[in-house]
Structure 1
Amino acid sequence: MGVSTSGPEKGISVVAVDFPPVNALPVQGWYDLADAVRAAGRDPEIRCVVLTAAGRGFNAGVDIKELQRDPGHEALIGANRGCHEAFAAVYECEVPVVAAVQGHCLGGGIGLVGNADAIVASDDATFGLPELDRGALGAATHLARLVPQHLMRALYYTSRTVTAAELHAHGSVWKVVPRARLDAAALELAREIARKDGHLIRLAKAAINGIDPVDVRRSYRYEQGFTFEAALSGTADRVRDTFGSQGKDSQRKDSQGKEETSG
């Protein structure tokens, strides 16, 4: 469990996240992820990083239970800073980052893939920001890098998700493949990138970041101010408590013992 790094092929580093059961990362997990991505990018032998995750979903965002256990605001401050560092590490990695996404990609997951250079997704992958349902804000900066502006707003306000196929139609997902093919497809793209000259690919990454119309670090940090305002006002706790009770009420057993979900 945690964050690990491997080198399956020359020039490629795979950073894997594993926080069962849904990959909702604790504060330290975000910092560990940031450190692993930055270290991989600094390695002069590496020309591409693949960001992947174990389990049924790529990322479920911040560990809300960790926030709820904290009577003050230290966990929230830590989560804010940790997410900021992890998202920035992906964006600022010295070499291209390919995100390999399966299952759910929610909240902080959008921050990671929105800052990646390319996304390969399984056909069961879904992407969204359920922040308003969970007493939080943030990562609109990164969702706006995946879909057009008005769709981003509608998705944000409703907490709805979009499929990998829909993002592929918008051009933000490189390829959609069966889940069993996800790792291979991500490595195929990484392998093609890694064939380029190591110095030139680093110059290319710096150049492309340099012409970005939005400063993603500053934009996301601005959003985080409103997240903290929601916490200080008590709104965040009220919404989280409602979300928790609705989550318990939404699942019930039918007469045959099968789980149903209301709504």
Structure 2
Amino acid sequence: MTTIVKNVDKQVAYLTIQSPPANALSSQLIKDLSTFLGEIEEDDNVKVIIIHGEGRFFSAGADIKEFTSLQAHSDYENLAKSGQQVFQRLEDFRIPVIAAIHGAALGGGLELAMACHIRIVGENAKLGLPELNLGIIPGFAGTQRLPRYIGTSKAYEMILSGEPISGTDAAAFGLANRAVPDESVLEEAAQLAKTIAAKSKPTIHHVMKLVNYTRSDKFVAGMEAEAKAFGTIFGSEDATEGIQAFVEKRKPDFKDK
């Protein structure tokens, strides 16, 4: 069963991804995230949110096997749009959200982490957008958020190569706020959350709103274009081959079609 568990400790809400073995992001899990955001928004006690994963990973990607159950291009485009909407809601949230990343944040997992306001990462964690290895592309605004953090050149390299970077490199490139020993990720995130929670709530809410003004007006158009491309690419032969190869744990044989 894939789920998210909410726990509130004083003024910090913990959202724990529980989707073994890799904490893959299913459409239901993303809906659950949206539901919990609604609950937290109505809770006057919560000042900070921490999102983290149970087990070995933060999240190793979207639920690829779920993709195989979809049929039409529009199904894939709608899937991308629904994920984008929830992640955009997260980024626009008036309560700061910290991603505590251990193990791996790949594909949809990294896209979720990038929608959070602050990222604390384990030094040996792996962060990347490996979708092109499967003959597909990022669909939850990964092509739009990654360049904002690390610049266009490095974003091109990471997305086109599909190769992940370490938590240490993520911090050096600006993708993460800081890299800490792997076993200390949640503790460091909790300490930062307590520091923020000690501030006045109105000041927190105003800062969350004001910083968002720095975002380009083209961001929304970029997300829409990504969702449309996500739907289109799933109609290709290479996408079918790439996903099948992933399920069968073999190297894909792309035909460039």
Q: TM-score, normalised by structure 2?
A: 0.88
User: C-alpha deviations, 1:143-179, integer Å up to 9, x for none?
Assistant: 2233121011011111011111011112332222222
Choose 182-191 or 171-180, whichever is displaced more: 171-180
Match of 2:195 among 174, 186, 192: 192
Choose 140-149 or 98-107, whichever is displaced more: 140-149
Instruction: Report the counterpart of residue 153 of structure 1 in structure 2.
Output: 156
Instruction: Report the counterpart of residue 93 of structure 1 in structure 2.
Output: 93
Measured after TM superposition, the shift of residue 248 of structure 1 is 4.1
User: C-alpha deviations, 1:158-215, integer Å up to 9, x for none?
Assistant: 1011111011112332222222211111011111111111011111101111222355
Are 2:215 and 1:204 aligned?
no
Instruction: Report the counterpart of residue 6 of structure 2 in structure 1.
Output: 5
Higher relative contact order (CA 8 A, sep 6+): 2
Task: Give yes or no for contact 1:6–1:15 (8 Å, CA) kept in 2.
Answer: yes
Give matches, 1:58-97, under 5 Å.
58-72=58-72, 76-77=76-77, 79-97=79-97
Choose 216-225 or 113-122, whichever is displaced more: 216-225
Instruction: Report the counterpart of residue 135 of structure 1 in structure 2.
Output: 135
Task: Give yes or no for contact 2:61–2:107 (8 Å, CA) kept in 1.
Answer: yes
Measured after TM superposition, the shift of residue 42 of structure 1 is 4.0
Choose 87-96 or 229-238, whichever is displaced more: 229-238
Task: Give yes or no for contact 1:114–1:145 (8 Å, CA) kept in 2.
Answer: no
The CA distance in 2 between the partners of 1:132 and 1:218, in whole Å, is 22
Partner SS state of residue 210, structure 2: helix
Partner SS state of residue 56, structure 2: coil
Instruction: Report the counterpart of residue 255 of structure 2 in structure 1.
Output: none
Measured after TM superposition, the shift of residue 43 of structure 1 is 2.5
Instruction: Report the counterpart of residue 51 of structure 1 in structure 2.
Output: 51
The one-letter amino acid paired with 1:104 is A
Measured after TM superposition, the shift of residue 102 of structure 1 is 0.6
Structure 1 unmatched runs, 5+: 251-263
Measured after TM superposition, the shift of residue 127 of structure 1 is 0.6
Task: Give yes or no for contact 2:73–2:232 (8 Å, CA) kept in 1.
Answer: no
User: C-alpha deviations, 1:38-79, integer Å up to 9, x for none?
Assistant: 432442222111111111111122211111134455763553
The CA distance in 1 between the partners of 2:40 and 2:137, in whole Å, is 30
Residues paired across the two proteins, number? 248
User: C-alpha deviations, 1:71-109, integer Å up to 9, x for none?
Assistant: 455763553233213311320211111100011111111
Instruction: Report the counterpart of residue 115 of structure 2 in structure 1.
Output: 115
Measured after TM superposition, the shift of residue 2 of structure 1 is 0.7
Partner SS state of residue 119, structure 1: strand
Mark the CA change 1:86 to 1:61 in structure 2 (over 3 Å): closer, same or farther.
farther
The CA distance in 2 between the partners of 1:119 and 1:199, in whole Å, is 23
Structure 2 unmatched runs, 5+: 253-257
The CA distance in 2 between the partners of 1:176 and 1:12, in whole Å, is 21
Measured after TM superposition, the shift of residue 244 of structure 1 is 3.6
Partner SS state of residue 188, structure 1: helix
Choose 97-106 or 53-62, whichever is displaced more: 53-62
Instruction: Report the counterpart of residue 174 of structure 2 in structure 1.
Output: 171
Mark the CA change 1:77 to 1:249 in structure 2 (over 3 Å): closer, same or farther.
closer
The CA distance in 2 between the partners of 1:168 and 1:229, in whole Å, is 34
Are 2:223 and 1:220 aligned?
yes
Mark the CA change 1:56 to 1:74 in structure 2 (over 3 Å): closer, same or farther.
farther
The one-letter amino acid paired with 1:94 is R
Mark the CA change 1:129 to 1:14 in structure 2 (over 3 Å): closer, same or farther.
same
The one-letter amino acid paired with 1:140 is T
Task: Give yes or no for contact 1:31–1:85 (8 Å, CA) kept in 2.
Answer: no
Partner SS state of residue 95, structure 2: coil
- Give the % identical residues: 22
Q: TM-score, normalised by structure 1?
A: 0.86
